[in-house]
Homo-oligomer: A and B are copies of this chain.
Amino acid sequence: MAPSNQKPSIPKGTRDFDAEQVMKRNFLRNTIIGVYEQFGFEPLETPAMEWLATLTGKYGAEGDQLLFRILKNGDYLRKVDKELLAKGKHQELTPYIAEKGLRYDLTVPFARYVAMNHHALPMPYRRYQVQPVWRGDRPQKGRYQEFWQCDADVVGSDSLLHELELVQIYDRVFKALGIKARVRINNRKLLNGVASLVKAHEFFGPICTAIDKMDKIGMEGVEEEFRKIGLTDEQVGELKEVLTLEGPGMLKLNELAERFAEGFIDPAGINEVRDVLGNVLQIGVEHVEVDFDLTLARGLSYYTGTIFEVVATEHDFGSLSGGGRYDNLTGVFGLEGVSGVGISFGLERLFDILEMQGWPIDFSRLGTRAIVMPFEVEGVQRALEVLKVLRDAGVKAELYTELDQKMGKKMKYADKKGIPFAVLIGSKELESGQVGLKDLASGEQQLLDLDALLERVERDQNPDPA
């Protein structure tokens, strides 16, 4: 490499993750994956790069703008018409110079995969996928250009038992993470019915968009939005009435069912929520709260049935997970009539919550447990023997190679890495055939033979729960 003096940095919205962050992120990933696998979901990994034809048009106009496009390799201008180039219109040029883009979410690659492989897949097909995605959002606190999603979807079945199982998955994940959470459930068909109820079915989309803002702008703000859409005071009033129904979910559903019946409105959405909620009540959940919430709309347009959202009950962190049922996700790729339902966790918010409230496991025991320090070159052979014994027993142990370093600096190194034990090998230890064990926390030091060393270090690694 040519010498230079580049001041190194990384693009805004991207991050390096150090050892502690990786350990914690792995804990989150593995916890979620563990629960997904308990429910029969199988892993899938798709490539970071997809054809732009696969990605564009799937995330709305805003999404298309946020896609990262990859410049063709080689002379990408060779076949570009000179006139087109001279016009300088980026929208016109892009299709000629870029044909691949970075994965924007895990749902579209999943749909693409199912459409490509459905003949070979077991149906219903349950897959989970835990991978990074990339979006050209303006970087800001808590919003990144590279972030991880942890998705589970099942396709090829319209059984509402999958909705129940997804709620059970939420229950086990949040229990394992120690996060108190509420699962909000609603149904797009029910929202559709509500629009019909106030005779504003043609405004179904905008009504959903308005309701979706409830968390941010409150009922009053939503009413304002309704009026902007062009709804009458009467319609706004009736919408407000149903959206602010109080009481247990099943009772709210009964109330709505009566109104729907009076208006001869399709009760499918009500029946579906009843079914899911009834199953949840019957089988029970251990940890999460579960609520029917008519004000849950979810922005994504491909949902057609149940919709889910999870929020923390003790912190104001926004949505920790969302999901729902879609009837035609693969239709755009030529495979019609495949119903599915899925959920997605974002890694970053779970991380932030646990940083705030504390992690359910002690990560300090996962790192290197012992550092072996020969004082002189004569001690190296012995140090390597000690290391072999420790490593063969499954103890993470490292060699301190800087023999000439001062003791203070050696200990500072061990401290920085959070290593609890230093194994010292000086001339005294070499003579006695023992090793010196220094407990870095207490400063205590003792001479031990190898068996006793191993026992001490292992005991610390797996402390007796009693």
Are B82 and A16 in contact (CB-based, < 8 A)?
A: no
| Cβ of A77 under 8 Å from chain B | yes
Q: List chain B residues, Cβ under 8 A from A157.
A: 401-402
The CA of A127 and the CA of B389, in the complex, are separated in Å by 23
**Chain A positions 21 through 47: 1 when the CB is less than 8 Å from some CB of chain B, otherwise 0:** 111011000000000011110111111
> CA–CA, A14 to B115, complex, Å?
17
> CB within 8 A of A22: which of B22, B44, B54?
B44
Q: Are B49 and A14 touching (Cβ within 8 A)?
A: yes
CB-CB contacts below 8 Å: A65-120 with B: 65-66, 68-71, 73-78, 80, 82, 85-86, 88-90, 93-94, 97-100, 102, 112-113, 115-117
| Contact A40 to B6, CB < 8 A, known contacts A71-B70, A90-B77, A145-B49 | no
Tell whether, in the assembled complex, residue B98 and residue A11 are in contact, meaning their CB atoms are under 8 Å apart. Answer: no
Check A88–B93 contact: CB distance below 8 A: no
Contacts A8-B115, A51-B11 hold; do A16 and B2 have CB atoms under 8 A apart? no
A window 378-392: CB within 8 A of B? 380-381, 384-385, 388, 391
| A124-153 residues at the B interface, CB under 8 angstroms | 124, 126-127, 132, 134, 136, 145-146
Nearest CB on B from A36, distance (A): 10
A5 within 8 Å of B (CB atoms): yes
Tell me the complex Cα distance, A69–B396, Å. 39
Per the bound structure, the CA–CA distance linking A179 and B371 in Å amounts to 30
Question: Does A199 sit at the interface, judged by CB under 8 A?
Answer: no
Name the interface residues of A309-348: CB closer than 8 Å to any CB of B: 328-329, 331-334
A250 within 8 A of B: no
A42–B417 CB distance below 8 A? yes
A86-B75 in contact (CB<8A)? no
B115 x A371 contact (CB < 8 A): no
A14-B49, A51-B11 in contact; A40/B76 too (CB < 8 A)?
A: no
B70 A68 Cβ-Cβ under 8 A: yes
Given A57-B2, A116-B8, A416-B122, are A65 and B73 neighbors across the interface (CB < 8 Å)? Answer: yes
Task: Please report the C-alpha to C-alpha distance between residue A68 and residue B49 in the assembled complex, in whole angstroms.
Answer: 10
Name the B residues within 8 Å of A86 (CB-CB).
82, 85-86
CA distance A43 to B18 in the complex (A): 7
Residues from chain B with a CB closer than 8 A to the CB of A113 are: 16
Which listed segment binds B: A158-166, A201-209, A422-430, A435-443?
A158-166
A71 and B58 contacting across the interface, CB-CB below 8 Å: no
What residues of chain B lie closer than 8 Å to A78, measured between beta carbons? 90
- Cβ contact within 8 Å between A10 and B302: no
Shortest Cβ distance from A3 into B: residue: B331
| Residue in chain B with minimal CB distance to A40 | B398
Contact yes or no, B70 A69, CB < 8 A: yes
Max count, chain B CB within 10 A of own CB: residue among A40, A49, A302, A388: A40
Q: Decide if A9 is an interface residue (CB 8 Å cutoff).
A: yes
**15 further interface pairs, Cβ-Cβ under 8 Å (given A1-B331, A3-B331, A11-B49):** A1-B302, A7-B333, A11-B47, A16-B46, A19-B127, A38-B396, A39-B391, A40-B398, A40-B417, A48-B48, A69-B70, A85-B88, A157-B401, A161-B380, A161-B401
Interface residues of A (CB under 8 A from B): 1-11, 14-19, 21-23, 25-26, 37-40, 42-51, 53-54, 57-58, 65-66, 68-71, 73-78, 80, 82, 85-86, 88-90, 93-94, 97-100, 102, 112-113, 115-117, 122-124, 126-127, 132, 134, 136, 145-146, 157, 159, 161-162, 164-165, 172, 282-283, 301-302, 328-329, 331-334, 367-368, 371, 380-381, 384-385, 388, 391, 394, 396-399, 401-403, 413, 416-417
Which 4 pairs from chain A and chain B are nearest by CB?
A40-B398, A14-B47, A19-B42, A159-B401
